[in-house]
A = this chain, B = another copy of it.
Amino acid sequence: MGLKQRMYDALAPEARQSGLSRVNLFILGLVLVSFLFLALETEPALYTQPSWQLVFDISNIAVITIFALEYIARVWSAGADPQYAGLAGRWRYMTQFYSIADLLAFLPELIVMITGANVSLLVLRVLRLARIIKIARFIPAFDALGAAMRRASSLLLTSLALAITIIYVSAVLLYFVEGLAGNEQEAFASIPRAIWWAVATLTTVGYGDVYPVTPLGRFCAGIIALVGVGVVALPAGVFASAFSDELRERELAKIKQELEASRAAAAAGRNDAS
């Protein structure tokens, strides 16, 4: 088995039956670390200190270099798979969704680093979010997320429409009630602002920056909260239940597959023996 094949087995997540290869675990860890640093880099208390600045610079260079090497290795070793062999195959590989994400994970910052171009830090950082797609490939749960949404799409849409309706109607109601009752606050001065109140209330977040102050407004808000909280929680509940079902089924399917594989192996062993 040549280097290319070994590299392919180590890098392609689909080349292994279950779990991640050590190389991919390392890449996964690196992405997580790079997100940790993305967060820390924006903190004034840290980036104003030269020592932390140095840490950020070094970690950035290291991450970009490794991702660049990883990209080259992925493209080269993709040839081990017949469908990506040859130049045309490589091109087909490189134009895939995940390959483009791999490229975006390091190229913009690499170019800026080399050319010293004066590009907004903000844009660079937004592009760095592309690395999240690198994780998505490794964690099947993200895949299950989409499947769960499709599975419950009709229920999800219905309950979401209902939740939005309740939020809108509640907001209009409190806009009228608080406005009529003479609340001169900014909070209920328009329906969009009242919607902000309704979302904060009906999701039970309740920041406390906006709340009714007139007796009638409080009475209406109390009724709305008591009744509406359940309706607005519907989409969340529907999704949670669909996602949990999806994950359970996948786990079951995996166990069944392993069982069949072991049975087939046992049968093959008996055949060999006889």
Q: Kindly state the separation between the CA atoms of A160 and B209 in the bound complex, as whole angstroms.
A: 28
Shortest A29–chain B CB gap in Å is 13
Choose among B43, B189, B218, B230 the residue that contacts A190 (Cβ–Cβ < 8 A): B43
Q: Which B residues are CB-close (under 8 A) to A227? A: 235-236
> Per DSSP, are chain A's interface residues mostly helix, strand or loop, or mixed?
helix
Residue of B nearest to A47 (CB): B190
Residue of B nearest to A140 (CB): B158
Choose among B155, B193, B206 the residue that contacts A244 (Cβ–Cβ < 8 A): B155
Residue-wise interface mask of A (154-192) relative to B, using a CB-CB cutoff of 8 A (1 in contact, 0 not): 110011111111001101100110011000000001111
Q: Are B199 and A225 in contact (CB under 8 A)?
A: yes
Shortest A198–chain B CB gap in Å is 9
Q: Are B122 and A176 in contact (CB under 8 A)?
A: yes
Q: Which B residues are CB-close (under 8 A) to A132? A: 165, 169
Q: Which B residues are CB-close (under 8 A) to A237? A: 230, 240, 244
Q: Which B residues are CB-close (under 8 A) to A231? A: 236, 239-240
Q: Which B residues are CB-close (under 8 A) to A179? A: 122
Q: Kindly state the separation between the CA atoms of A231 and B41 in the bound complex, as whole angstroms.
A: 27
- Given contact pairs A141-B159, A199-B221, A229-B236, enumerate 9 new A-B contacts (beta carbons under 8 Å): A139-B158, A144-B158, A155-B248, A159-B244, A207-B208, A229-B233, A234-B240, A234-B243, A238-B244
A contacts, CB < 8 Å to B: 35, 38-40, 42-45, 122, 125-126, 129, 132, 135, 139, 141-142, 144-145, 154-155, 158-165, 168-169, 171-172, 175-176, 179-180, 189-193, 195-196, 199-201, 203-209, 211, 215, 218, 221-222, 225-227, 229-240, 243-244, 247-248, 251
- Chosen A-B contacts, 10 in total, with CB atoms closer than 8 Å, are A39-B171, A39-B195, A42-B191, A145-B162, A200-B206, A203-B229, A204-B204, A205-B229, A230-B240, A234-B243
CB-based closest 4 A-B pairs:
A230-B236, A208-B208, A205-B206, A39-B191
